[in-house]
């Protein structure tokens, strides 16, 4: 029996989260963002591509009594977010869940105080067009909070794989090339008056190869995932060698976020 898209999407999200369970930092990425962004209350907030809504477990106490609009392109993903936020709903003034493609934002001009785009602007058909739309729907003085990655995100993994095939694609390089920590500021300054940039200082010490293999198979789509499945014995042996020599697999998740302000 074929799995539903809701099960597959949630499984992919949880696979990614499991890898970050091995963080050496004192804060998770979402906890870190929540502590770094300005505290806000009673604002109108739009999240683009909300996923399972996990960021709000940490952000909601900092942004109480807000009117939230959570969007994603898939109804089943919104259902997962609704379940996540159910225990937190009393902390918000209102929560609305809307199926929305962020390539075509339907919202009125100057209708939101804050827009959040968490690790997804690099999926846009045209990043500049989406940023222009975000600037349009923000009120004067509003802010965009958008997280992304650097090209060297989890570079230890791609280095391990490329010892066997040096032309293997790596999603982080493509994603960061479109909108990453190295080029995001330049793109944002075309649409926003000022911005701040923050980078997350953290490492992962993964003491089992299974979460790493699951990450490569389930979150890295296309040619890489296919190659990993076809060469599982090679990948497993390489990861086991690293594990046996160090006791863990060290990974560097080069991530961060921008806060861009509209005048």
What are the tens digits of pLDDT across the range 140-183?
A: 999 999 999 999 999 999 999 999 999 998 888 999 999 999 99
User: Is 212 within the bounds of a domain?
Assistant: no
Instruction: Read off the CATH number of the domain in which 106 is found.
Output: 3.40.50.150
| 130 within a domain of the structure (yes/no) | yes
Mean pLDDT calculated for residue range 122-148: 97
pLDDT at 9 over 60: no
Residue 220 DSSP class: S
Task: Point out the least confidently predicted range of 23-27, 195-199, 233-237.
Answer: 23-27
pLDDT tens, position by position, 15-24:
566 788 888 8
Residue 224 lies in a domain: no
- Asked whether residue 182 is domain-assigned, the answer is yes
Q: Which two tokens mark 42? A: 């009673």
Containing structural domain, residue 185: 5-153+170-204+253-261
Quote the tokens at residue 249. 């697999």
Position 217 scores a pLDDT of 82
Measured CA angle at 233 (ends 227, 237), to 5 deg:
115
Is 215 part of a structural domain of the chain?
no
Name the band, by pLDDT with cuts 50, 70 and 90, for residue 2.
Answer: very low
Indicate the number of domains in the chain.
1
How many CB atoms are closer than 10 A to CB 251?
Answer: 21
């Amino acid at each position: 029996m074929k799995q539903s898209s809701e099960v597959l999407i949630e499984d992919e999200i949880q696979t990614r989260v499991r890898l970050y369970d091995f963080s050496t930092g004192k804060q998770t990425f979402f906890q870190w963002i929540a502590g770094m962004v300005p505290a806000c209350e009673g604002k109108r907030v739009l999240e683009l591509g909300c996923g399972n809504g996990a960021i709000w477990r940490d952000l909601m106490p900092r942004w109480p009594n807000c009117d939230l609009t959570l969007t994603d392109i898939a109804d089943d993903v919104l259902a997962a977010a609704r379940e996540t936020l159910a225990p937190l709903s009393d902390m918000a003034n209102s929560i609305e869940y809307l199926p929305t493609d962020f390539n075509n934002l339907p919202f009125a001009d100057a209708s939101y105080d804050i827009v959040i785009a968490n690790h997804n602007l690099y999926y846009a058909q045209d990043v500049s067009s989406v940023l222009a739309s975000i600037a349009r729907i923000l009120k004067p003085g509003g802010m965009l909070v958008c997280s992304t990655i650097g090209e060297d995100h989890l570079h230890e993994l791609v280095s391990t794989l490329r010892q066997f095939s040096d032309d293997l694609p790596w999603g982080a390089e493509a994603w960061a090339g479109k909108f990453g920590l190295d080029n995001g500021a330049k793109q944002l300054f075309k649409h926003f008056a000022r911005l701040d940039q923050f980078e997350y200082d953290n490492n992962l010490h993964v003491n089992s190869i299974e979460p790493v293999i699951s990450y490569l198979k389930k979150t890295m789509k296309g040619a890489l995932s296919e190659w990993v499945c076809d060469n599982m014995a090679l990948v497993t042996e390489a990861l086991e060698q690293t594990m046996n020599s160090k006791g863990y697999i060290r990974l560097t998740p080069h991530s961060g976020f921008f806060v861009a302000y509209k005048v």
